[in-house]
Structure 1
C-alpha cells in the first residue's frame, strides 16, 4: 500500500506536535511538511492530506488556500459557526477537495455524542457540562456545540419540547444557550478535555460522560480521518460519519 503524504498546519501547538509524532510513527503515512505561523505553506501542496490544528483566526485562510489547490483537509480547529461552514461550502463549489471538520477526534467522545443523540428521544430535560484546560480559546467547546446540535435534531424529529426551566433570576447562571440547550463551560488547570451530558425525567437521570486524559486519545481518530478522507467526498462535519455508525 502506498504511503499517504501528510502535511500538518499548527505543527508547534500541543495537538500539532502530537499529530506530527503520530504520523511519523505510522508506516502507512509520510510526514512531508510541518508548518506553523510564519512558515511557507507552499510545502503543503505536496501532501495528499493536510491536517489543520491552528486557531479560529487562521483556519479560514488556510482552508481557502488549500481548497483552491484541491487538497484534502482534516480540520481539528474549532470555532465553526454556520456562517463559516457556508463559506467553506462556497469555496468547495469548484474544487476537488474533500474536507472533514471534526469538533473531536477521540473515538469515545464521538460515541458519547451519538449516544446522547439517541437518548434525547426519551428524556424531557438535558444539559451539557464541558470542562477543559484554561488555555482553550473557545467556549462553549466545539464538541459541546456539536452535541447540542445532534440532541436538538433528535428532539425536533421526535417532537420533544425544550427542557423545562422556571428560572427567573440571573439567566447567565444557566449557561450558554445552544439550540435551546444549556451548556456550561468550565476552564480549570489540570484538565485536558471532558464532557458530561445529563438527561432527566421524573424519577430518573442519565449521565453520559467522556474524559480525555491525554492528547494521545485523539490520535486514532486523526489517523482514521487521514486514511479515509479520500473515500468521503465533499464537506463532512463530524468524525461520526467516518465511523459508519447506524
Structure 2
C-alpha cells in the first residue's frame, strides 16, 4: 500500500486555508471522503496521522484548517485564543466548516463527493457536531471527546448520522451536558448514538497528552468509528 498525500490551499472570505489530504495511491477507484477536524491546536501532525490512518482503511482522509495560514498557533495560549475566537462566533465557524466541506468535495482527489463523512477531536468534535447541526450534506459525523454546547441558533435539517465517543469522566462534559446533547439530537430527529468510556477523561485518543491518554479507549473508539463508517457507506446504510 502506497499512501500518497498533498496539501490543498483554498480561500474563504479573504482568508487562505491549507488542508492535508491522504489516500491509497495503489487504487484508481473513487472512495469515500472523511474530513478530519482538529483539536484546538489546529491542523497538526496528529490530524495528518489520522488522515493517513483513514487512507489505510480505504478512505480519502482530509485534515482541514479552520484558523487560516498565518494564524496557526505555536503554543497552548495561542491555541486557546484561536479557539476562543471560533467559540465566540459560531456562525463564522459554520462558514469555515462548510467551505472546508466544499473544498474536500471539489478538490482533485480520488474521492467520491457523494459519500462524505467527518470526524473530529476535542474542539474538532464540536466542529463536526456543528456540521451536522447546520444540515450539511454529509452521511455521518464522529465526535471524539468533543464539546457539546450548542450554537446560539436553531439546528437545521440534520441529515447526518451521529456517533459521539465520550470519556465519562471528562470535566469539560459532565453528565448534564451529555444528557442535554442527547435531548437536543432526539428533538432534532437525528439518528444518533453515544459510546461512553468509564474511567476516561478528555483527549483520550492523543498520546501527546500523557495525563489524559487512554490506550484502551483510543483503541475502542477507533474501532467504533470504523464500524460506523462501514455502516453509513454500505449500500442502503
Shorter-chain TM-score category?
Answer: 0.3 to 0.5
Higher relative contact order (CA 8 A, sep 6+): 1
- What is the TM-score when the length of structure 2 is the normalising length? 0.42
Structure with max Cα Rg: 1
- What is the TM-score when the length of structure 1 is the normalising length? 0.41
